[in-house]
Amino acid sequence: MAKIELNLSLNRVEGDLEIAVELEDGVVSQARTVGTLYRGFEQIMLGRAPRDGLVITPRVCGICGTAHLYSAVLALEQAWQLPVPPNAVRIRNLCLIAEGIQNDLRQTFLFFTPDFCNPRYIDRPWFAELMDAFEPFRGSVYRQTLALSRKAVEIVAQFGGQWPHSSYMLPGGVTTPPDLRRIIACRAVLDEIQRWYEQTVIGAGLDDWLALDSADAYFSWLETPAHAASALGLLSRSARGLGLQRMAAGTPHMLSYGAWCDPEQPQDRLVPGGFFDGDSGQIAPLDQRMINEHVRHSWFKPYPGGLHPSNGETIPDFQPNSDRYTWAKAPRYGDRAVQTGPLAELLIGGDALIESLHALEGGNAWLRQFARVRRIAYELVCARRMLDELSVDFSQPHIFNPGKSAEVDGEGFGLIMAARGALGHWVKIKDGAIARYQIVTPTAWNASPRDSNGLPGHWEQSLVGVAVQDPEDPIEIGHIIRSHDPCLVCTVHMLDTGKKRHFAP
């Protein structure tokens, strides 16, 4: 039996990542995800004033700084028991959606589809058409995505002054009220994006697209000239032609915190969250007390079992040449390894088409990416709803500015769905300063290492069983990892550099 070990160095926005796989007769038999850079934001926060989190934590990521800001402010508002005016929630949602649209477009057409331009696929019937659309820096869809995704975050700039790394969300509201000029400017951005999404990405109107509610209906739709020639149609034909609908199921369990706070009831979500039990097929209400993090295989000071983030520790303890192999922790929901992202968000949220496709083929690399493109439609609809509701009465407050006396000691957490999935911040305040701060990112869930029980994380499970045709060009691994929108995609697009190889007998 021929055994080969591959270490594939991959970068990420908030750190570096390495994928180590062991091939037996060309099939992945073991996989490890290795976070090679210590982040340390949790340590940076200790001893600081609570509001410092609103400036520092959005720097965790250059793509989803709005999401981190949103989680951070929710954690403080819960700790201080602060009310938030509905218009502030609408502005927060609108900006989070804008950031999500930006991310979903870039991840799909700048990072995922370029893998299909690999010369290995030159004999495929769709290759020439695909190159015209997706070839990096030349393809029509690639270039249009650059322009439209940049346009999307102009909405954040309308209320936050800049993107990324804005700090316009404050405990009790936002810094900038809505007015007619901002509403018109945001509507113009959404109009342009929706027009392009309908004409180029899905080849149909938004209402018809959202009305699709079954796998049979979609596969019939895929045969129509308009959708077949669209960007998503081309992506689906290519991905399914390569068999991605049969790859990378990973853990069957999924987690969503629910999308977008309800302006009238901020503790609720407009799209419900929960835990999808892959064994029973049932969805249970979210219980954040079930979340815990393990460090048995991580380079952190050891502790037994898992700790809830409110009691979590992030004390670096580098131990090379041991069975610890990453700077990432292993989050678990109870004792389950879970996956998170748009597929989890729409499946748990009740999208009928995603439910039908998942029931037919299970979780897989194609469906994961398909769900990301479909989520854009929901983002556009919800963004328009936020603008319509903001337009009703500009005189409504945009902040309930709390007095200093409200900033008491306590604990809180903020859970949202970022573009990449479930994001949580937990804060503990003592003697007026941050005594504990923990962040669990979407990629931490998906790219987690083994836990205290030896259970591999979702990516590690997704890669086992994958046949790698050419170890010199393991593009199959690229398809799988990029279908999860890992945080490394902003800096690395290809797999052909920085590779170390070890051949074992």
Residue range 417-473, pLDDT digits in tens:
999 999 999 999 999 999 999 999 998 999 999 999 999 999 999 999 999 999 888
Has residue 17 got a pLDDT over 80? no
Tens digit of pLDDT for each residue in 59-94? Answer: 888 888 999 999 999 999 999 999 999 999 999 999
Position 236 scores a pLDDT of 98
Position 9 scores a pLDDT of 55
Has residue 491 got a pLDDT over 90? no
Position 32 scores a pLDDT of 92
Position 503 scores a pLDDT of 31
Q: How far apart are CA 153 and CA 247, in angstroms?
A: 33
Position 16 scores a pLDDT of 65
Position 497 scores a pLDDT of 42
What phi and psi values does residue 409 have, to the nearest 5 degrees?
A: -70, 150
Position 142 scores a pLDDT of 97
Quick one: which H or E segment has residue 5? strand 3-12
- The residue type of 101 is I
Position 165 scores a pLDDT of 87
Strand spans (E) along 190-268: 254-256, 259-261
Structure tokens at 92: 């927060």
Q: Report the range out of 237-241, 325-329, 472-476 with the highest average pLDDT.
A: 237-241
Handedness of CA 489, 494, 495, 496 (dihedral sign): negative
Residues in the chain: 505
Position 7 scores a pLDDT of 66
Query: Where does the pLDDT of residue 395 fall: very low under 50, low under 70, confident under 90, or very high at 90 and above?
Result: very high
Could you tell me the pTM of the whole model?
0.93
Has residue 416 got a pLDDT over 50? yes
Has residue 201 got a pLDDT over 80? yes
Tens digit of pLDDT for each residue in 242-301? Answer: 999 999 999 999 999 999 999 999 999 999 999 999 999 999 999 999 999 999 999 999
CB 371 within 8 A of CB 157: no
Tens digit of pLDDT for each residue in 130-144? Answer: 999 999 999 999 999
Has residue 475 got a pLDDT over 50? yes
